[in-house]
Amino acid sequence: MDVKIEESWKAHLQQEFEKPYFKVLTDFVRNEYGKRTVYPPARLIFNAFDNCPFDEVKVVIVGQDPYHQPGQAHGLCFSVNDGVQLPPSLVNIYQEIANDLGKPMPASGNLERWARQGVLLLNATLTVQANRAGSHQGKGWEEFTDAAIHQLATKRDHLVFILWGAYAQRKGASIDTRRHLVLKSPHPSPLSAHRGFFGNKHFSKTNDYLIAHGKTPIDW
């Protein structure tokens, strides 16, 4: 199957595209876009990969589901388009960056600038029906994004995996912590941020690890 995704990722994930589950997933997603309002726009489904080629990944942040309100989702977890009101979880992420690194709160929630520096902003599920959170879970996306994480964890060294919340932590459970830095904390959602997300210092810890392994730190 010829999937429109960045070439280095296409090479590493080609075996997934040939598996039966991916054909079923593709048929489901195509049907959904044809009949319903689905986010993100179809051309941005693989935006996280397209903005961050395989060999340029330094950090992986694992999200769960795309935003399901109009104009928000554009294929990068926790990120929204320019001009869109900041979602509560992203406000808390920015607040932790401010507390950790002393950086001012940005006005825009567009995190493409992180992606271009090597931060893979990967949702576990890459599509969602409008106004129906979780509506495309269990259709095959999770198997595909597990494969992407596995490729990085086994073929790259000294990456930082940031796992916020129980869902992300289950998804990253098999990552070798002797080979990579795995950072865990509660989710930045307002429901859980005060239970240990605030004060986790994941952004400074990430940069310290990257510098220690000869890599350029992220300008958060």
- Residues with catalytic annotation? 65
Q: In a 3-state reduction of DSSP, which class is residue 23?
A: helix
User: Could you tell me where the DSSP H helices lie in the chain?
Assistant: 7-17, 20-35, 47-50, 88-101, 112-115, 141-155, 165-171, 202-212
Buried b / exposed e over 46-65, threshold 16 CB at 10 Å, is bbbbbbbebeebbbbbbbbb
* Contact (Cβ atoms closer than 8 angstroms) between residue 208 and residue 201: no
Residue 114: φ, ψ to 5°: -70, -45
Q: Name the nearest CA neighbour of 181 among 159, 157, 155.
A: 159
